[in-house]
Chain A
């Protein structure tokens, strides 16, 4: 069965450094991957979507890559700030409208 894994439950990064979060999947490649941010007690906020035929997507300090050979997506936040601290969710889609969420990676930016 299909499985999506984010590299760690929690990640601590020094302010100003680049935070890199990893999302790995097995078996079938998703048609696209979405990355969301969720703060405690709030709904997820959409950040970026990358399709399987795209290598990279950028939005301000955010960058997402999609490597179908490695079956991996990387999510980077450059020049990280304490306000970037949140849980980040890698959400695959296999061609239908449903999204399947994992528990994500809790990122803490240390001042």
Chain B
């Protein structure tokens, strides 16, 4: 149980294009989903928190117009990197949470999406 998937697992795109990453909770309803970014040998950095049906809350320094988050249902959240540039190349990971699952506070992570912008 508590499986989270991401699609695609990797993507290569040209500079200036937009890329959409999907995050799905497969066997539970995610009241909250989180998007993280991880650069090589660094820790996961929280980008934004999203609750189904409401606007995402972005962390300081994360541009909301560049990283568009949509959490349209309790099982799907999408992150769109708009006008991607090489510095956006990173490992993007989503997680999902449901207070009724497990101990109530853990997050279940997707396998990640490797984005490379040429």
Contacts and interface: CB of A to CB of B under 8 A. Distances in A.
Nearest to B42: A103
Contacts, number: 55
B106 A49 contact: yes
Interface residues of A, number: 20
B91 A44 contact: no
Nearest to A100: B46
Interface string B70-97: 0000000000000000000001011101
A34 interface: yes
Interface residues of B, number: 28
Interface string B12-54: 0000000000000000000010101000011111100100000
Interface centre among B6, B41, B44, B94 (most CB of A within 10 A): B44
A89 B97 CA distance: 18
Contacts of B102: 46, 49
A87 to B, nearest CB: 10
Interface stretch (A19-27, A64-72, A76-84, A91-99): A91-99
Interface of B: 4, 6, 32, 34, 36, 41-46, 49, 91, 93-95, 97, 102-103, 105-112, 114
- Nearest 5 CB-CB pairs, A to B? A43-B109, A101-B44, A101-B43, A46-B106, A43-B93
